[in-house]
Amino acid sequence: MLSVINICKNVHINALLVQQIRYKSKTHWAKLKKKTSPKYKAQNHFDEFYGSVFGGKWPPMKETMLRRSKFVAVVNNYGDSEETIDFLTERGAHCLKALMSVQQEFHKQYPPTPTQSDTNTTSLEQYTAKVQFDDISSIYPQDNLPEKLELSDMTIRSSEEEKEVEKQPLKNLTLEESLASAQMDMSRIIDPSMGVTSEALYQYVPATQLKGMDEWVPESLHYSYYAQDKDFPLAIEPETEFSFPEHLKVYTYEMGSEWNMFPEPKRCKTNVMNYYPMDCGSVLAVLALCLSPGDRVLDLCSAPGGKALVALQTLLPDVIVCNDSSISRTNRISRIFRDYLIDFDTSNSWRERVVISTRDGREFTDDIGFDKVLVDAPCTTDRRTINQDANLVYHLARVQDRLSLPDVQPYLLTNALKLVRVGGAVVYSTCSLSPVQNDGVVHMALKHAFETHGVIATVKDLSAPFANLAGTLSLAAGSIAPRYGQLVTPTNDANFGPSYIARLVRVK
């Protein structure tokens, strides 16, 4: 009996000790646990990377992205379009085309002052060197590293050593003499007691040599892909063919009217939805295609189908091919089209105009060619990633998807440049702020397309036509502006994006 009482006392004392330990910290244990979820991992990564790229402009961007995003309403021309326009106008929304026309007249009277664009090359190089140095420091024994080693010292020291070697005269030594004078590099020996994880070793073992990791790209190498070498034909010209499609009706609220949100779409008399809500940056990707009547269009990464739907709302394409790599995602495209296109499943005219395919965009082939190709590439989806935990690239179950992104994006764009006809245009877009996934991918694809397939494309500068959006959204300018495309940055007054849009025209 006494032993049972003693056991109960010990259990009670242990419970009190656990409770004291739990509440010893000022932060509740449940909140500490939440900080390790995928969205917080993404936030920490973005704080470090985007903080180095955008500097003081990143914190307000992040704060805005953590808030509810803003949308525009794309009126469905296959529904009661006039009634829908009246409904939106009564709620205080304005026509995007009209707003751009007003800005265009304003710019004619007061031309904007040109700003010098800086592609953040220096900051990215410094960040790349820091990531690589931190990785090495975390893996190799600290005893073999200097107590204080600046990143700049590493570069300077290596160059000085090379010069010293060049100054030394060459001596013909025998094999025995060479072995006797050789020094073993002990700094690359990993001490097993350090507890190095396999995840860390991925940074240094070639991905192709790891079983089951054929498509992995070491994360520490992502930033080195942002190269600026020009050993291939590269030209950047102003865009002169841009025009807003006559039949495309997009409505938005004024800047600063963040809380004027559109209600849920409703069914029209024709049994289709009256409008499609989407981010304004997504609309810009379709506008950048500069669609013409009779175009044959390919949407290479189409799901969920919003951009393809906007292209159809222009009433310009003759044929549009909507492709995605998985059946579940192409099923989402079909559902969107059934909601917005009359008799989509039964009409023969839709079957001739809209083709849905399920293929890997990197291996998509076509014998006819396309006039316009849209590559809305898979990316880190920055806004969703820092707000959600489920099924996103920073989730533990999707580590491979995240690490393979730099190996997927440029090859999608390269294949698009092959598929488009000479004189046709390719638009590359993401919903990421990353210069590596944006300008970096465009640069890599242009280089790879030329070296591998002999394809030459010109980058079209959309600064002039997109300047007419100044009263609607915020575009990156000055030191944070990309070199090849346009970057929609979230702000308190216009919480759209992030979105990156680049237009390439094939010339050979």
By annotation, the residues acting in catalysis are 431
Sheet holding 94-95, edge to edge: 94-95, 250-252, 72-75, 275-278
- CA neighbor of 461 nearest in space, from 434, 492, 485, 480: 485
Give the Cα separation of 123 and 53 in Å (integer).
Answer: 6
Give the Cα separation of 273 and 83 in Å (integer).
Answer: 12
- CA neighbor of 499 nearest in space, from 306, 249, 293, 228: 306
Q: What is the DSSP string of 25-81?
A: SSS-HHHHHHTTSHHHHHHHHHHHHHHHHHGGGHHHHHHHHTSPPP-EEEE-TTS-H
Which residue type is seen at 217?
Answer: V
3-state secondary structure string across 402-461: HHCHHHHHHHHHHHHHHHEEEEEEEEEEECCCCCHHHHHHHHHHHHHHHHHHCCCEEEEE
219 in Cβ contact with 203 (< 8 Å): yes
For 259, counting Cβ atoms within 10 Å of its Cβ (0-12 exposed, 13-18 middle, 19+ buried), the class is: exposed
β-partners of residue 486 are 501
Give the Cα separation of 21 and 339 in Å (integer).
Answer: 55
